[in-house]
């Protein structure tokens, strides 16, 4: 229903009406056949915590060459996500609940995540996907899931206009309950691609149905 509300905000009424009709028709089918966001969230939620290595390549128009960095990602349900950059310089971004902690060198700063929308958008995209938090994703993005469980992609377009002025979309590609690649397309054409390699993961004792 939330999705419908969002559509209503962004589209003209006649299109909404058509879309609603389409959705209603598609509903019985999608529940069985298509791989959608609820299905993906269920899949992802089976993993309670995990650790991975990442390498990120960022291309920025005004810079002479591509920026590369690498480090470690850890997450734990329900709401903890840490991105620790090891190269070229140590840096850490950790998100626990609504608290954002940034560590760089010997400096540490704590912020409320919801007070910094430009940081929240990235945190919610990755944390929400890794922990299978469908509500968090739908609150912030219009999500389009395609593919099959063994090879899926999800496109996240920010709902908030101010955020959309910065980030055009976040594309997440995965395999079963693991994320392989996160691509961020900035509104000004810059882009970053983060490749993720799984190290370990802890699954729930009994997968929720």
Partner 1 sequence: LTPPEGLQRAAVLLRRGVLVVWLACVAAAIGIAWRTHYVADLSAFLPSTPSAEQAVLLDQLRSGVAARLALIGLEGGTPAARQQASRQLAQALRESGTFDAVHNGDNTQFEATGKFLFEHRYLLSPAVDVQRFSVEGLKAGIDDTTSLLGTPAGALIKPVILRDPTGETVRMAEGMLPAQSPRMDGGVWVSRDGQRAVLLATTRADGADLDGQQRALQQVRERFAALKAEGVRLILTGPASFSVDSRDKIKREVEVLAIAGGVAIVGILLFSFGGSLRTLLFAVLPVACGVLAGVAAVSLAFGNVHGMTLGFGTTLIGEAVDYAIYYLIQARSRAGAPPGDGARRWTAESWPTVRLGLWTSICGFAALLFSGFPGLAQLGLFSVAGLAAAALTTRYVFTVIAPDGAPGVGMRRRLGEAVGWCSEVLPRARWPLAALTLAAAAALAWWPSAWHANLASLNPVGAEQIRLDEELRQDIGASDNGTIVAVAAADEAGVLAQAEAAGERLDKLVASGAIGGYESPARLLPSPATQQRRRDALPEPAVLAANLQAATADGPLPARRLQAFLDDVQAARQQPVLTLASLKDTPLAAALSAQVLPGDGTRPWRALLRVQPVDTQPVDLAALRSALADLPGTHVVNIADEVSSLYARYLREALVQALLGALAVCLLLALHLRSWRRLLRIAQPVAASVVLVLAVMTGLGVALGILHLVGLLLAVAIGSNYALFFDQIRAQQDSQAPGPGVAIDTDTLASLALANITAGVSFLLLAFSSIPVLSAVGQVVAPGIVLSLLLSAAFIPRRQA
Shortest spacing between CB 98 and partner 1, in angstroms: 8
Q: What is the DSSP string of 130-185?
A: HTT-HHHHHHHEEEEEEEETTEEEEEEEESSHHHHTTEEEEEEEEETTEEEEEEEE
What dihedral do alpha carbons 124, 126, 128, 132 form, nearest 10°?
Answer: 180
Sheet-wide strand order for 47-59: 107-112, 99-104, 91-96, 80-87, 67-76, 47-59, 191-203, 178-186, 167-175, 151-158, 141-148
The yes or no reply on residue 86 touching partner 1 (CB under 8 A) is no
Total binding residues toward partner 1, as defined by CB under 8 A: 44
Among 8, 142, 186, 198, binds partner 1 (CB under 8 A): 186
β-bridge mates for residue 175, sequence order = 178
Stretch in the footprint of partner 1 (CB under 8 A) among 19-27, 93-101, 146-154, 200-208: 93-101
**The only residue of 48, 58, 92, 168 in contact with partner 1, by rule CB under 8 A:** 58
Q: Which of 31, 115, 204, 207 binds partner 1 (CB under 8 A)?
A: 115
Binding to partner 1, residues 5-24 (CB under 8 A):
9
Could you say which of 160, 175, 195, 198 contacts partner 1 (CB under 8 A)?
Answer: 160
Nearer to partner 1, 53 or 119 (CB): 119
* Binds partner 1 by CB under 8 A, chosen from 46, 49, 55, 59: 59
Q: Is 69 in the site for partner 1 (CB under 8 A)?
A: yes
């Amino acid at each position: 229903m939330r999705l419908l509300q969002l559509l209503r905000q962004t589209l003209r009424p006649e299109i909404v009406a058509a879309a609603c009709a389409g959705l209603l028709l598609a509903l019985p089918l999608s529940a069985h056949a298509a791989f959608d966001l609820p299905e993906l969230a269920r899949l992802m939620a089976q993993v309670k915590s995990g650790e991975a290595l990442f390498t990120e390549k960022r291309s920025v128009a005004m810079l002479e060459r591509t920026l590369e960095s690498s480090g470690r990602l850890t997450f734990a349900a329900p709401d903890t996500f840490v991105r620790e950059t090891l190269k070229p310089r140590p840096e850490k971004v950790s998100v626990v609940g609504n608290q954002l902690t940034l560590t760089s060198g010997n400096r540490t700063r704590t912020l409320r995540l919801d007070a910094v929308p430009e940081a929240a958008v990235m945190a919610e995209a990755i944390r929400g996907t890794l922990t299978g938090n469908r509500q968090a994703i739908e609150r912030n993005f219009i999500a389009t899931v395609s593919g099959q469980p063994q090879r899926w992609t999800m496109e996240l377009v920010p709902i908030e206009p101010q955020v959309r002025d910065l980030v055009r979309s976040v594309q997440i590609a995965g395999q079963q309950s693991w994320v392989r690649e996160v691509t961020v397309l900035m509104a000004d054409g810059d882009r970053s691609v983060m490749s993720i390699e799984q190290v370990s993961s802890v699954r729930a004792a009994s997968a929720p149905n």
